[in-house]
Amino acid sequence: MITDIQTSGQQGTFNSLIHLGVAYNQLNDLALKKIQQTFPKLFCIDISNNRLESITGALQTLILLPDLKMLYLLGNPLTLAPNYRQVLKTKLQKLKILDGVPTLNEAENTKKKKPKADSALSSYSQRSQQGPDLVELVRDVQENFTMDLHMRVLQNIDGIYLTEETCKPEVLETLANDSDKSSIFWLSYQNHLGQQVKTEKKVWIQHFAVDKDTGIGKTDFQFKLRLNERPSFELSEWMRNDLFMELWETRPKLVEKRNEETMEMIKEVVLDTNNIPVIETRCRGVSSVIQ
């Protein structure tokens, strides 16, 4: 498994190399720069399934290979960047094959729509002393990857809402909001950095309704998550696996006790020393989300 390109004492040795295949390794953005410096006449590069993360960095490196016509990048985190394929075709107009798919016809169809600046930036000449404007080349390129996840809890979830049947009236009067008297639900998952991420919290009673036809109570929870960050190897690997979501709940703690008058078993909220309901936290279940 290759993790770097060794260039020490080898400048000029591989000037005539036109094809380089280094797929399925661990080469990063710096290694791609070394490839450009060591093999300046490359016609074809297969560097798929490596660790290239920056699409702007790749553009600023690949534009310096004037003979490059075939490029394979699939399997690298940078392919998560918005409009990855269109960006590569627009900025590297000399490319004929990108990830095994011809670009010639696509380039011809979009040529009239391209601003003149792009054409000038992509026409790097070996005779030019200055080369392309690398800053201008990537000025309008977006790096961040965005993914929206919409999740819905379809199973009816039982929750708690304190009433005078389970809580003393004088205590209820001090609980002004539904969130003080009701179960609260949220989802939690572990992101690609090993951090626990939580969704927004939903108050159970606000999402509970009784079906008029059946008389059965139903709960409908919908959660939204948005990922917006630069592509990375960790993010790419994380997306290859199923995402495990945990459903969590906080609720006022109830205990069963016998009514001294009727001798029936009743439920009553547990209060702390300040006469405030004790809140307990529990995991209600785990579900996998296929990404």
pLDDT at 95: 94
Distance from C-alpha of 230 to C-alpha of 143, rounded to nearest angstrom: 6
Residue that is written with structure tokens 């049947």 in the block: 165
For the chain, the structural domain boundaries read 19-137, 145-289
Measured from the Cβ of residue 77, the count of other Cβ atoms closer than 10 Å reads: 23
Q: What backbone torsions phi and psi does residue 263 show, to the nearest 5 degrees?
A: 65, 15
Distance from C-alpha of 252 to C-alpha of 165, rounded to nearest angstrom: 14
pLDDT at 128: 45
Q: For each of the chain's 291 residues, which pLDDT tens digit applies?
A: 888 887 665 555 678 899 999 999 999 999 999 999 999 999 999 999 999 999 999 999 999 999 999 999 999 999 999 999 999 999 998 999 999 999 875 544 555 455 444 444 444 444 444 567 888 888 889 899 898 888 888 777 889 999 998 998 999 999 989 999 999 999 999 999 999 999 999 999 999 887 777 777 888 889 988 889 999 999 999 988 888 999 999 999 999 988 777 778 888 999 999 999 999 999 999 988 765
Q: Domain 19-137's class?
A: alpha beta
- The pTM of the full predicted model, rounded to 2 decimals, is 0.75
Taking the alpha carbons at both ends of the chain, their separation in whole angstroms is 28
Name 279's Cβ contacts closer than 8 Å, sequence gap at least 6.
250, 251, 252, 253
pLDDT at 219: 87
